[in-house]
Structure 1
Amino acid sequence: MEKLLDIVDDLHLDNHLLIEEMPDLDLYMDQIIQIFESKLEKSKRNEEDKVLTKTMINNYAKGKLFFPIQNKKYSKNHLILISLIYQLKGALSINDIKATLDKLNEKIIEEELDVENIYQSYIKLSNRNVERFYQDIEKSADEVKAEVSKQEDDDSSYLEQLLLIASVVNMSNFYRRLAEKLVDSLDDEDES
């Protein structure tokens, strides 16, 4: 169990780009990439992985995941949106992310909403999710251990890992599927 908690700690789940870490001036793409790489490098699975690349940002722009930039520079609101995209892309398709962020982009352009407040709320909720995740993982590990103890196999350590992996993936799929259904329901709410 301790090893599992070490693995969870090593995920750096509370690693977010915070509003205070975002400059109030417009930045070029290379500067954006540098900020994301330096802040979120602990979130990478492998050292050679990239948090953010020029190609990714260009694809987000082409896909209209964020409102157009001005003079090849990105505003603080762009940084917020790119940070949200970074988080969402772990579970959602580019089309689902676009559908999720379309209305937010409109409101930013029309200056109807303070996106910084929305992002601060997201960070608070995310931090609460981290706490909940630790509790859920401990409970799942205990349940797996109980199931493995019923097995007649000498390799209980492997069986625990196998069942925990399968269980975690199963829960991940449940959450992803729910997120997809919520994205689908965005259209329903707009129509009503």
Structure 2
Amino acid sequence: MSPQDTAHEPAHTSRRSKITPERAQEFYTAVLDILRESGYEALTMEGVAARTRCGKSTLYRQWGSKPELVTAALHGTRSAMLPHIDTGTLAGDLREAARAIGAGSGRDIPLMHALGHAALQSPELMCALRESLILPETATIEAMVRRGAERGEIPADSPAAEFVPVQLLGVLRARPLLEGKYADETYLIRFVEHTVLPALGLGAPAPRS
């Protein structure tokens, strides 16, 4: 039976997991590296097998198809760009968030771009992309804004508050398309100081040291 035939068999008859968690992480890392380097269309099960020195039948038995393998890789390597941040002020939190997001932009944005078109055609892939790269950061930024409102730094009904995650994460995608550059730490901090904070009513940029 060919790997292609195996890919369409029911999961309970075709897949027998003998892959250790450590070995699975090797596969996931290879998948994401190839996506960043070459894009989704260029990713093949054969290419992953060659890079990880395994038979492609192993990949087909375990994951069945390329979309399933990519989805598993996204879930299995989920790592938030944002560490725990609580400086005591909303402005400080957002500056630190900008610093952390900018530091990871060269790693995560190529992956988002590589998966963008494919994810639009696959609800499962879109869900994995959102859950692994987008929702954790969105939730963290929303928590920062909520704490700022609870401390009285911004009104609880601030009309700008709901747009903060969209601003910070949206500019990550927009700058490479518009200017051919990543939104790095310096750029994102400036963006926060001159766009996000004024919209929230938090005043002028911090003085430069």
TM over 0.5: no
- Shorter-chain TM-score: what band? under 0.3
TM-score, normalised relative to structure 1? 0.26
